[in-house]
Structures are given as C-alpha cells and as structure tokens.
Amino acid sequence: MRDDHLALDIVQDAMLKLTEKYSTRPLPELPLLFQRILQNTIRDFYRRQKVRALWTTPISSLFGAEADSDADPLETLEVADDSKFSEPPAEQVERSQVLAFIEKALEKLPARQRQAFLLRYWEEQDVAAAAKIMGCSEGSVKTHCSRATRALAVMLNKQGIKL
C-alpha cells in the first residue's frame, strides 16, 4: 500500500467484515477467511482508486485547474497500476504455480528455519524483532534464514525454477 495509515484502514475494514459476517465460523477457518477478505478489500480499494482517478482528473480540469497546452488529454486517464492483475493470464497462472511450490517447499523446512524465514522475509521483521519473537540470538536468526534460503534455492532449482 506504501502508506501505513491506509494499510491499517484496509486491515481494519477486513477485520470488521470478518467479525460481522463470519463470527460464527470455527476458529481454524478464520485465518483463511481473513486472508481472502483482506485480498478482496485491497482489490476493491484499487478499483475504487482507479475509478476516482478516471473521473476526478478530467472533472478537475474543467473547473479552472491549471491547464498545460502541451498536455495530452489521454494522459489524464492513465492510472499507475502496481498490482499484478494487469499481467497476462498465462503469467498469473505461472506465478500462482511457483508460489504454490514455494509454499510446499517452506513446509519441508525445519520449524526454526521456516519461522525465521517467514518472520524476516514474509512479515518483514528486522533481525532484532525476529530474534525477540523466536526467543534466540540475532546470530541464530541470521543462520536459520541463511540455511532456509539456501535450502529453498536448492529445492526450486531442482524443479527448474529460477527466481
């Protein structure tokens, strides 16, 4: 999201939707439901942002905004899209297959390596925070991460996946 406040708002909206609609569901189902709700909330945000940008830019130019005579009016309709939804379906399928393989490879790692890897690279924790969470030294976190990345690279290379 590149904006902490916006990201927190989206997470909060997703949590509210989860509690409003799925509070009666069994506890083990909630994390998967939350992930799906969060993904949909993020997609909805980007769709709304695209629609807003599509309409607010041309309308604002009608009400006395500084107009550049050399500007191309079609450029006002372009919206920066950092998401992966604009890539071709074949690339989306390939990406999802690679991610599924990575998830399976992560399951094969020893628990401490998996924990260190996920904390550092998935949850983007720094070494000190990961060490505190894991209850070990910073050096141990670095060692576990190094071993995990090496093991994952070997597993991916055996499958012909180059990242």
Helix (H, G, I), strand (E, B) or coil at 160: coil
Cα 100 to Cα 110: distance, rounded to the nearest angstrom: 18
Q: What is the pLDDT of residues 111-159, one digit of tens each?
A: 999 999 889 888 888 899 999 999 999 999 999 999 998 998 888 888 8
Band of residue 83 on the pLDDT scale cut at 50, 70, 90 = low
Band of residue 23 on the pLDDT scale cut at 50, 70, 90 = confident
Cα 56 to Cα 62: distance, rounded to the nearest angstrom: 10
Cα 35 to Cα 31: distance, rounded to the nearest angstrom: 6
Q: What is the pLDDT of residues 94-113, one digit of tens each?
A: 888 888 888 888 899 999 99
pLDDT score of 48 more than 60: yes
Domains of the chain, start order: 1-83 (no CATH), 87-163 (1.10.10.10)
DSSP-assigned states of every residue in 73-129: GGGGG-----SSTTS-HHHHHHHHHHHHHHHHHHHHS-HHHHHHHIIIIIS---HHH
